[in-house]
């Protein structure tokens, strides 16, 4: 084909493209059907049909309970469909999480939103033939032949909710789900990585969900555990705020206190430890409990006992006032003072007084020594020749943290430096030779 011919063909092709383009310009024309499906511990899959051409940018917005933030995932469409697979085998998601999703397209300056939809990420592992019953605000889920226990857990949940609502001066903000597992593997398979082996029940307050393991303890233990866990959910509702998570010792203390409405044996644990290894500072157990069995046990015990002290001395309403203060964005100290009328330090002091010990003090860190390693020998560091610096050719001693190092050489010192540098080279060479020789001999 000659050059002109190729040109003619090219023009024709361009005209065709223009005609097609101008007459039938495909533009994004909104979202078609959007669906989602999940398989537990495998994936959550989202699909959407695109009407017309693909938009300039396509995104999937995902939101889970407990966060108002939308996680934005950019998506590359495949023709007029688009999909996203959330790999939950790698990225653990708690079962019963209600995922809110919405597709978003950007075309020029326009933003086109699909409808907001939800999918519940269910534990649909093989063999878990879930059944459920609604008992007031609680839906209890079980499989196998655990109906009787499940119903009992449902009743206890209702009792626990009522007690906690009264204590915390609030109303449950929404329904609660309780999932009852029969085997350890199935239970820990639901809790995901990081669950402690001694766990018999766990509450995920943001999800308003409690997981129970039927063989996680004696029937009596499981019954109080049920009350404990549901109290966490009411506590979450009573204190939820954008600023600050309430002190952990208080959260656990209220939940444990609610099990029997008393500090019970927890006070004994504190008394025993007070006369032995000493107690923890409440600041120390505000964010996290210490590692080890003693750390956990004593933290729970101190929290429960201080809650009991507050209720004894300031009335049950004090707990409701503390919760309300948290809800308004108070710090731990502010919330305790709002509830009791005395400062947090005074409250803590009263607690330690009761056990005849002093409030613990933080322990000072042992200082870290300065480097003992020499720097490379410096030559002339000439930053203008105006600075008086020592003539000594050896590296300056290393400064301790906070000290300024001393400069190392002057113009005048060059001959001295040279001489000493040569000596230094010789010394190093000898040293290296000795070391290498030693290494060869050793080898």
Partner 1 sequence: MPRLTRVAALVAAGVIALSTSTSGGPILAAGPALRYLGGPPGTLDPAFIGNAADVQLLLQLYAGLTRLDETGEPYPSLASGWAVSPDGLRYEFAIRSDLEFSDGDPLVAEDIRRSWLRLLDPMTEATAPDVLSVVEGASERINGDGPEGDVGIQAPDDETLVVTLRQPASHFLEIVATPATFVVPDTADATPTWQTPDAFVGSGPYIVNGLDGTDLVLRANPRYVAGAPPIDEIRWVGSIDGDSVSAFADDQFDLAQVAGSDATWIAYDADLGPRLHVAEPLTISYFGFDTTQPPFDDPRVRLAFALAIDRERLVPLSEGAEAQAAASLVPPAIWPEGFSPELEADPDRARELLAEAGYADGSELGTIVVNGNGLFVDPAVAVWREELGVEIEIETMEFGSFLDLFETRRSVQIFTINWIADYASPHALYALLLEPGALSNYGDWRDDEFVELLDAAAAAAEDEVGAAYDAVEEYVVGEAPVIPWSYGETWWLVADGLRGLGNLTIGLIDFGRVSWDG
Residue 53's Cβ-count burial label (10 Å; 0-12, 13-18, 19+) is middle
Cα 325 to the center of its chain, rounded Å = 24
Q: Is residue 5 near partner 1 by the rule CB under 8 A?
A: no
Size of the site for partner 1 (CB under 8 A): 78
- Report how far residue 345's alpha carbon sits from residue 282's, in angstroms, rounded to the nearest whole number: 10
Nearer to partner 1, 207 or 413 (CB): 413
* Residue that the structure tokens 């063999």 belong to: 127
Decide whether 17 or 111 has the Cβ nearer to partner 1. Answer: 111
How many other C-beta atoms can be found within 10 angstroms of the C-beta atom of residue 335? 25
**Minimum distance from CB of 251 to partner 1 (Å)?**
14
**Residue 417 interacting with partner 1 (CB under 8 A):** yes
Site string for partner 1, 358-387 (x = CB under 8 A): --xxxxxxx-xxxxxxxxxxxxxxxxxxxx
Contact 214, 151 (CB under 8 A): no
Closest to partner 1 by CB, 80 vs 281, is: 281
Q: Where are the beta strands (DSSP E) in 108-265?
A: 110-113, 117-121, 131-135, 138-142, 176-181, 201-204, 209-213
3-state secondary structure of 48: strand
Position 402 contacts partner 1 (CB under 8 A): yes
Assess 195 for contact with partner 1 (CB under 8 A).
no
CB 157 to partner 1: min, Å: 29
Angle at 242 between CA 240 and CA 243, to 5 degrees: 105
Q: Is 403 in the site for partner 1 (CB under 8 A)?
A: yes
For partner 1, the closer CB: 269 or 311: 269
| Stretch touching partner 1 by CB under 8 A, among 29-37, 112-120, 149-157, 405-413 | 405-413
| Interatomic CA distance for residues 344 and 287, integer angstroms | 16
- Nearer Cβ to partner 1 (266/410): 410
391 counts as binding partner 1 under rule CB under 8 A: no
Binding track over 241-260 against partner 1, x by CB under 8 A:
-xxx----------------
Question: What residues from 86 to 145 belong to the interface with partner 1 (CB under 8 A)?
Answer: 106
User: 316 or 327, CB closer to partner 1?
Assistant: 327
Of 236, 222, 228, 273, whose CA–CA distance to 252 is shortest?
Answer: 228
CA–CA distance, 284 with 164 (Å, rounded to integer): 26
- Tell me if 72 contacts partner 1 by CB under 8 A: yes
Contact pick of 53, 73, 98, 349 for partner 1 (by CB under 8 A): 73
**In whole angstroms, how close is the CB of 144 to partner 1 at the nearest point?**
32
397 binds partner 1 (CB under 8 A): no
Given the rule CB under 8 A, which of 112-120, 141-149, 204-212, 401-409 is the region that contacts partner 1? 401-409
Nearest-angstrom CA–CA distance, 390 and 43: 69
Q: Where are the beta strands (DSSP E) in 126-191?
A: 131-135, 138-142, 176-181
Residue 328 found at the interface with partner 1 (CB under 8 A): no
Q: Which of 183, 328 has the CB closer to partner 1?
A: 328
Dist. CA 238–CA 235, nearest whole Å: 5
Residues 302-321 that bind partner 1 (CB under 8 A): none
Measured distance between the N- and C-terminal CA atoms of the chain, rounded to whole angstroms: 77
Comparing CB distances to partner 1, the nearer of 14 and 428 is: 428
Instruction: Please identify, using beta-carbon distances, which residue of 41 and 283 lies nearer to partner 1.
Output: 283
Judged by CB under 8 A, the residue of 69, 118, 131, 275 near partner 1 is: 69
Strand order through the sheet with 81-87:
28-39, 43-52, 81-87
């Amino acid at each position: 084909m000659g050059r002109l011919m190729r040109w003619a063909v090219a023009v024709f092709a361009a005209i065709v493209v223009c005609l097609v383009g101008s007459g039938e310009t495909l533009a994004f024309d909104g979202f078609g059907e959007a669906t989602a499906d999940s398989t537990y511990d495998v994936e959550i899959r989202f699909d959407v049909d695109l009407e017309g051409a693909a938009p300039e940018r396509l995104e999937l917005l995902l939101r889970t309970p407990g966060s108002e933030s939308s996680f934005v995932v950019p998506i590359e469409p495949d023709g007029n469909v688009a999909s996203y697979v959330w790999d939950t085998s790698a990225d653990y998601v708690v079962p019963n999480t209600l995922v809110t999703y919405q597709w978003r397209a950007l075309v020029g300056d326009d933003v086109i939103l699909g409808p907001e939809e939800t999918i519940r990420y269910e534990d649909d592992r093989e063999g878990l033939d879930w059944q459920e019953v609604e008992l007031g605000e609680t839906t209890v889920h079980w499989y196998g032949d655990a109906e009787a226990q499940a119903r009992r857990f449902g009743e206890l949940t209702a009792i626990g909710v009522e007690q906690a609502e009264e204590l915390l001066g609030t109303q449950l903000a929404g329904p609660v789900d309780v999932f009852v597992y029969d085997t350890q593997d199935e239970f820990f398979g639901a809790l995901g990585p990081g669950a402690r082996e001694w766990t018999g029940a766990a509450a995920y307050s943001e999800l308003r969900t409690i997981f129970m393991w039927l063989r996680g303890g004696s029937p009596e233990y499981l019954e109080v555990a049920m009350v404990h866990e549901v109290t966490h959910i009411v506590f979450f509702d009573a204190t939820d705020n954008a600023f600050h998570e309430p002190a952990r010792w208080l959260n656990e203390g209220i939940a444990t206190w609610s099990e029997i409405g008393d500090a019970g044996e927890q006070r004994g644990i504190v008394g025993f430890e007070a006369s032995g290894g000493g107690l923890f500072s409440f600041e120390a157990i505000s964010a996290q409990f210490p590692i080890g069995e003693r750390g956990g046990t004593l933290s729970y015990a101190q929290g429960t006992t201080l809650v009991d002290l507050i209720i004894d001395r300031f009335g049950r309403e004090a707990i409701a006032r503390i919760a309300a203060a948290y809800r308004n964005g108070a710090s731990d100290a502010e919330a305790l003072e709002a509830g009791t009328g005395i400062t947090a330090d005074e409250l803590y002091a009263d607690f330690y007084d009761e056990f005849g010990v002093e409030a613990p003090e933080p322990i000072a860190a042992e200082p870290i020594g300065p480097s003992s390693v020499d720097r490379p020998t410096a030559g002339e560091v000439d930053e203008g020749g105006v600075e008086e610096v020592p003539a000594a050719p050896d590296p300056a001693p290393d400064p301790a943290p906070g000290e300024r190092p001393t400069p190392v050489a002057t113009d005048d010192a060059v001959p001295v430096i040279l001489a000493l540098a040569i000596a230094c080279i010789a010394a190093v060479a000898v040293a290296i030779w000795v070391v290498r020789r030693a290494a060869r001999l050793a080898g």
